[in-house]
């Protein structure tokens, strides 16, 4: 537990990138996304699936360029089409098979496009510099409260076939912790408190689904962690598995309820 706590505190400086916004945030996202997509692709090699790593790295670079120059979303569609054409060539040469291509593009969508909603939230809303913090409050507080609630009170397994250590008590604790922290955040910044309750509850459930989904992939490919870069947490993808789904949720919730 001590290692996990210290490693978690070591991640705090990364949040400074969010506070700074702009180019530091774009570069930070590029680094995180590039590492995460590498970890994701690497995991599937245990199943003799060989994604096209270079396409994942190139798309990470594209996100950096897209965000810095505030390019229209149409450029993303066009660039995805170009990457798809590029992926067909090695398949026609019998160097790659259909599963290699499927995992390549699923990784781009799951890891890179969904994480990019952090930047979209920051840059596309009037109070984006405040609202973007909800992504991390919901994700990290759910993880923290779920961990300690499960550690202290956990007795009933949640979904043991996917994640044996997670408990129903931990899940409830994560939802309560997320909701309380969202309410505190909303009170400080004078946001709609009813909306904070909704975002805290639903966001926490989505965060836990993201965590469980990442765990199900790890179970499928037969690994414990996506990497070992962060002691006590695994790889970057292990730490951001809940953020991946919470980021688009917060963006969507702001569009439907606040814009």
Q: Are the beta carbons of 55 and 83 closer than 8 angstroms?
A: yes
Q: Which two tokens stand for residue 86?
A: 């590029």
3-state secondary structure 104-172: HHHHHHHHHHHHCHHHHHHHHCCCHHHHCHHHHHHHHHHHHHHHHHHHHHCCCECCCCCCCCCEHHHHH
User: What are the CA-CA distances from residue 224 to residues 228, 234, 235, 243 (Å)?
Assistant: 10, 8, 10, 19
Percent of the chain at pLDDT above 70? 92
Query: Rounded to an integer, what distance in angstroms lies between the CA atom of residue 41 and that of residue 50?
Result: 7
Mean pLDDT, rounded, for 65-94: 96
Query: Rounded to an integer, what distance in angstroms lies between the CA atom of residue 63 and that of residue 60?
Result: 5
Check residue 173 and give its pLDDT: 97
pLDDT over 80 (residue 230): no
pLDDT over 80 (residue 103): yes
pLDDT over 70 (residue 3): no
Instruction: List residues bridging with 230 in a β-sheet.
Output: 234
**pLDDT tens-digit map of 160-174:** 998 888 999 999 999
pTM beyond cutoff 0.75: yes
User: What are the CA-CA distances from residue 17 to residues 9, 50, 191 (Å)?
Assistant: 15, 33, 23
The string over 28-53, giving b where at least 16 C-beta atoms fall within 10 Å of a residue's C-beta and e elsewhere, is bbbebbbbbbbbbbbbbeeeebbbbe
What does the radius of gyration of the chain's CA atoms come to, in whole angstroms?
A: 19
- Place 99 in a pLDDT band, splitting at 50, 70 and 90: very high
Phi/psi-derived region of residue 71, left when phi > 0, alpha when psi is between -120 and 50, beta in every other case: beta
User: What are the CA-CA distances from residue 134 to residues 16, 89, 100, 128, 192 (Å)?
Assistant: 15, 42, 35, 10, 13
- The domain segmentation of the chain, as residue ranges, is 2-257
| 238 CB neighbour count, 10 Å cutoff | 22
Query: Rounded to an integer, what distance in angstroms lies between the CA atom of residue 203 and that of residue 250?
Result: 8
Check residue 12 and give its pLDDT: 61
**pLDDT tens-digit map of 8-64:** 555 566 667 777 789 999 999 999 999 999 999 999 999 999 999 999 999 999 999
């Amino acid at each position: 537990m001590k290692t996990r706590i210290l490693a978690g505190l070591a991640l705090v400086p990364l949040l400074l990138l969010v506070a700074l916004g702009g180019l530091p945030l774009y570069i930070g996202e590029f680094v995180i996304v590039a590492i995460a997509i590498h970890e994701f692709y690497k995991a599937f090699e245990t199943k003799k699936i060989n994604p096209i790593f270079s396409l994942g790295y190139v798309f990470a670079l594209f996100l950096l360029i897209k965000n810095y120059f505030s390019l229209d979303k149409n450029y993303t569609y066009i660039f995805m089409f170009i990457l798809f054409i590029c992926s067909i060539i090695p398949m026609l040469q019998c160097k790659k098979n259909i599963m290699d291509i499927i995992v390549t593009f699923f990784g781009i969508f799951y890891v890179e496009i969904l994480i990019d909603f952090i930047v979209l939230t920051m840059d596309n809303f009037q109070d984006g510099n405040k609202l973007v913090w909800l992504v991390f409050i919901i994700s990290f507080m759910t993880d923290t409260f779920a961990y300690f609630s499960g550690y202290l009170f956990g007795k009933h397994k949640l979904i043991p076939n996917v994640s044996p250590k997670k408990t129903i008590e931990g899940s409830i604790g994560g939802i309560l912790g997320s909701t309380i922290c969202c309410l505190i955040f909303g009170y400080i910044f004078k946001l709609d408190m009813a909306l904070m309750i909704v975002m805290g509850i639903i966001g926490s459930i989505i965060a836990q689904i993201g965590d469980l989904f990442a765990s199900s992939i790890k179970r499928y490919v037969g690994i414990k962690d996506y990497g070992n870069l962060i002691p006590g947490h695994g790889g970057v993808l292990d730490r951001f598995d809940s953020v991946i789904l919470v980021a688009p949720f917060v963006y969507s919730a702001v569009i439907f309820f606040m814009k």
